[in-house]
Copies of this chain bind each other. A is one copy, B any other.
Amino acid sequence: MARLNFQDWMAIESPKVEKALDESLAFVPLPCRAIAAHILKAGGKRLRPLLVVAFARALDYDRDDVYPLATSLEMLHAATLLHDDILDRAGSRRGQPAAHTLFGEAKTILTGDALLAAGNSVTASYDSPSLCDCYARATALTAAGEILEMDSLGNPEQTRDTYMEIAMNKTAALIANACVMGATLAGASPAQTAAAERYGENVGLAFQIVDDALDFAPQSQTGKPCGGDLREGKLTPPIRLFRDSLDPGSRDRFDASFRTGNFDPEYFSGLIKEIGRFVPAALAIAKDRVRLALDALSGLPDADEKQILKQIADYVVARCK
């Protein structure tokens, strides 16, 4: 069989994931379905379900019940987005009005809960408590990561380790559990499951680091205003690397603004430019993580989808929005 490339694979798998997502709406109770459909059908990269599929296939699992399982984590992800847009008072999401601005906060919070439950129902239909456990752990760690992040906001002395702990919880845990769920469905050995987890954690960390670097790319490229993390007091890698480069006087000035979120407009635009110079160094950290992710794949059988997993990892650092 000729080697698949990522685009060809996506052209085959994406429609199957989308169809399964449509069908998974049946697990959402009727009164919550309109809001659930609003967030689920607004698009997205579908990274988590695609990783479930790729990992199961890489371990030679050929049944179609991988698709419903894959949607469970997209429902979890959608639930967290519904709740996050309320927490962040965000007005839009993926170019659409955020759900809470259309349906109200109360119903949006409840639909988030119902989506968490619907994803849970899907995993529970697989007769495998360890799949349920993956799902539950991913949910809990994502929430914990967001709280950790809130507790660190505006702290210019946050360490690199704390940043990594936040990213591991709020982003990488869910992506790692996607890989582990695919592997578990395929009946992976303990070593293969550990490899799936290590690949997913490192892809997830790389994903978050790239996301944070893209905060300093122009809005014309990403669709998001530049420097949002700086204003919100998130000490992401480019900001930390920039701060580390400052002399004590400049650092004091930076810290005072960073703690309060009050930046003189001219100072702010100067900072954006200067921090932008540290984006390549931040991306180098992400690339190191991708290397670790690829290492983790070395023990897996030499399937087509192993190549896809490599290309997904490369895509995570190559993406520009």
Contacts and interface: CB of A to CB of B under 8 A. Distances in A.
Interface of A: 27-32, 79-80, 83, 86-87, 105-107, 109-114, 116-118, 120-121, 123-130, 132-133, 135-137, 139-148, 150-151, 169
Given A29-B140, A125-B133, A139-B120, A87 B114 contact: no
A153 to B, nearest CB: 11
B117 A32 contact: no
Given A117-B139, A118-B140, A124-B132, 9 more contacts: A27-B140, A30-B144, A79-B113, A113-B113, A114-B140, A117-B137, A121-B137, A126-B129, A127-B129
Copies of the polypeptide in the assembly: 2
Contacts of A32: 140, 143-144, 147
**Do most interface residues of chain A lie in helix, strand or loop, or is the interface mixed?**
helix
26 contacts: A29-B140, A30-B144, A31-B148, A31-B151, A32-B143, A80-B113, A86-B109, A87-B109, A87-B110, A109-B109, A110-B143, A110-B144, A111-B143, A113-B142, A113-B143, A114-B139, A114-B140, A116-B139, A117-B137, A117-B140, A120-B135, A121-B133, A121-B140, A124-B133, A126-B129, A128-B129
Nearest to A122: B136
A86 to B, nearest CB: 7
Contacts of A130: 124
A94 to B, nearest CB: 21
Among A124, A128, A145, chain B packs the most CB atoms within 10 A around the CB of A124
When A and B form their complex, which 8 residue pairs have the shortest distance between CB atoms, in order from nearest? Answer: A29-B144, A117-B139, A124-B132, A117-B140, A120-B136, A31-B147, A121-B136, A114-B143
B140 A28 contact: yes
Contacts of A140: 27-29, 32, 113-114, 117-118, 121
Contacts of A136: 117-118, 120-121, 124
